[in-house]
Amino acid sequence: MTSKIDPHFIRAAQEGGETIRHPVAIELRQALEPTKGRSRRESLESLRKQVDRHQVDVVNLLTSMGVKDVQVLSLSNSIKTSLTSEQLAKVAEHPDVKTIRLVKPEKVIT
């Protein structure tokens, strides 16, 4: 289970305790099928259907745990949300979850 979890998240969760929610990205195992040879609209619709099919179980798990800020990221087949360390442990046990990473703001210097 812990191999799925970003070490930065583990440190942040230990420092924040059980009640603090940390922003995370949950990457799923299933690869999306290529959409070569289709129009842009057909490709996006195909990706959306694949993502809906692949993510339904994890989204349902998050919803059942009371997680409200679930954002599906179709192009990367991942989910952005905020989790407590207890919720993180439950999500990491799900067989469809590949990795869970702490989402940190990035500074862009131009």
List helix spans (H) across the chain.
Answer: 7-16, 40-64, 85-92
Length of the chain: 110
Read off the pLDDT of residues 25-79 as tens digits, 9 standing for 90 and up: 999 887 766 667 778 788 778 777 877 777 889 999 999 999 989 998 887 889 9
Phi, psi angle pair for 42, to nearest 5°: -65, -40
What are 34's two structure tokens?
A: 């290529």
The pTM of this model reads 0.74
Secondary structure class of 11 (helix, strand, coil): helix
Q: Tell whether domain 2-102 is in CATH 3.30.70.
A: yes
Beta bridge partners of 82: 23
